[in-house]
Amino acid sequence: MMTVIEGEKMSLGTLVKVARGYEKVKLTSEVKKRVSASQRLLERLLHTDKRIYGVTTGVGIWEKIPLEGQHEELQKRVILSHMTGAGDPIREEEVRAAMVLRANVIAKGYSAVRLEVLETLLAMLNQNVVPVVFQKGSLGTSGDLVPLAHIAAVIMGEGEACYEGKRRKGRKAMEKAGIPYQKFALRDGMGLINGTSISTGIGGMALYDGFGLFNNALIASAMTVDSLQSSLDPFDPKIHSLRPYRGQGVVAETLRKLLKNPASSIQHPASRKAQDAFSLRCIPQVLGASLDAFQYAKEQLEIEMNSASDNPLFIPSTFSKSSIQHPASNIQFLSGGNFHGQSVAIALDLFAIAMAEVGSLSERHINRLLNPNLSGLPGFLVEKPGLNTGLMLLQYTACDLVSENKILAHPAVTDNASVSADQEDHVSMASLSARKARTIVENVKTILAIQFICSAQAMEFREVSEVGMGTKAAYQAIRRVVPKLINDRPLSPDIEKIRRLIEENGIMEAVENEIGKIKE
């Protein structure tokens, strides 16, 4: 299989196939024509008296300084001057995600980047030459300038890259892979860095993983409901039809499916309470709101993935989307702000908040499972207390991560910095939004692993035959890798095993093999 890069059909799933699954990429002949036409348009504009930002002028505050006939040197120096990244390198799959997204922008044909440069970028993806890109330095406007400069540098034989498992000088990595590096000209450097590809790449990968974690959160919640023999009434479809949020209804329906057991007529005996606690009774309302937020973030990011995130934009006379104010025959290039990451930042900040809430609810479930005053089960789910501490300390770890998530859920987009001598006086901080979201996803993965361990241990004190078909399948999948706790043992290895099981979709597959797709 190969992914066609054509500027219009990039999705989260396609992004992950290329970035994480190493699927090869290619261009169509139509894309090659568009990109070449964009380059020729810029060449013609150079013979006019028009001032073209970052081509015949300096950049940032220096846009007032005219530069003629120095295109190659300007593009090179723009990249070198923007290589100010700091911190640890970002993950290779995230760099690959940014690379394919930047290729998708150029493939739209509005960036005036030479075809040879785009083809080099794709060759690097196909040969897995991955530039070393550092975590910190982007303000999300004018695009992810700093981290994207570290990618662009390798295309011209500078910087550093990883190839065949070894970190090398950019030129050496390219030579080793048999990829000719490029001398930049016209607008090659600017077109590679003036957009949101790092923020969208990191955020897109985190969001994709977030959807997978959400499915695991539904399973873990159902296991907790079964373990605590909570009432099933709160999941009745009549309740949710009267408050028709899509996410709320989907969560309630999924819980009913996970908890269904046609063979048991006494699955949940009459509750001793009139109502269960909010963390049990309101699972559809809490997780449903997060699911709706996830969906919004997905829609926003997929728009961004297929947008001309660049400036200026070189628009041919055949452009069909032009407005009345700009007749197509007059359009050549327009300066604007499509590099601004505000939409990405807001979407990812919302996703981060929604993901943090998934972890927060999970910790409340862990608390109810471990507290004998709430669960009706042995304290900390151990049969011989006193000498054994049981699962008590698992909650400590979960609480630590939940607290960190609360801090990280503070929106980055509400911050601002004014840079480039106030020429760039409103920024989005989208890259920070993406990094925070990614960390929250990793934290929630651990919190859910802890909830799975606690829920499975709680089921040891119930009749497993009387739990839901879906929750029983999850219990069995967990027990294949983590045994019942009888006497105290180090639990960090158990957490890691369940984290790995989540990453490999082991629990999801076991459940869906038993009851079918849990959520459409």
CA distances to 23, 149, 499 from 480, rounded to whole Å, are 32, 47, 14
Q: Quick one: pLDDT at residue 32? A: 97
Which of 408-439 are b and which e, b meaning 16 or more Cβ less than 10 Å from the residue's Cβ? bbebbbeeeeeeeeeebeebbbbbbbbbbbbb
Q: What per-residue confidence (pLDDT) applies to 487?
A: 96
Averaged pLDDT, 436-461: 98
Q: What is the token pair recorded at 400?
A: 């630590």
For residue range 129-146, what is the model confidence (pLDDT) as tens digits? Answer: 999 999 999 999 888 999
pLDDT in tens, 7-30: 999 999 999 999 999 999 999 999
| 376-428: pLDDT as tens digits | 999 999 999 999 999 999 999 999 999 999 999 999 999 999 988 888 889 99
Section 337-358 average pLDDT: 97
Please report, for the chain, the start and end positions of each structural domain, with discontinuous segments joined by +.
2-194, 204-307+337-515
Q: Is 22 a catalytic residue?
A: no
Looking at residue 210, what is its pLDDT? 98
Distance CA 248, CA 228 (A): 22
Q: Which residue in 6, 9, 3 sits closest to 109, CA to CA? A: 6
Note the CATH number of domain 204-307+337-515. Answer: 1.20.200.10
Marked catalytic residue, from 53, 163, 181, 475: 53
Q: What pLDDT score was predicted for residue 347?
A: 98
Q: Write the class of the CATH domain 2-194.
A: mainly alpha
314, 253 contact by CB (below 8 A): no
pLDDT at position 394 is 98
> Given a cut of 60, is residue 336 above it in pLDDT?
yes
φ, ψ at 138 (rounded to 5°): -95, 140
Q: Read off the pLDDT band of 324 (50, 70, 90).
A: very low
171-190 pLDDT per residue, tens: 999 999 999 999 999 999 99
pLDDT at site 277: 95
Helices 246-259 and 506-515 cross at an angle (nearest 10°) of: 70
The pLDDT of 93-108, averaged and rounded, is: 98
Range 251-256 average pLDDT: 98
Mean pLDDT, residues 100-113 taken together:
97
Predicted pLDDT of residue 330: 58
| Cβ contact 440:211 at 8 Å | no
Structure tokens at 211: 């959807």
Task: Express each pLDDT in 36-76 by its tens digit.
Answer: 999 999 999 988 888 988 888 988 888 888 887 788 899 99
**Residue 309 CB partners (closer than 8 Å, separation 6+):** 105, 143, 194, 195, 196, 197, 200, 338, 339
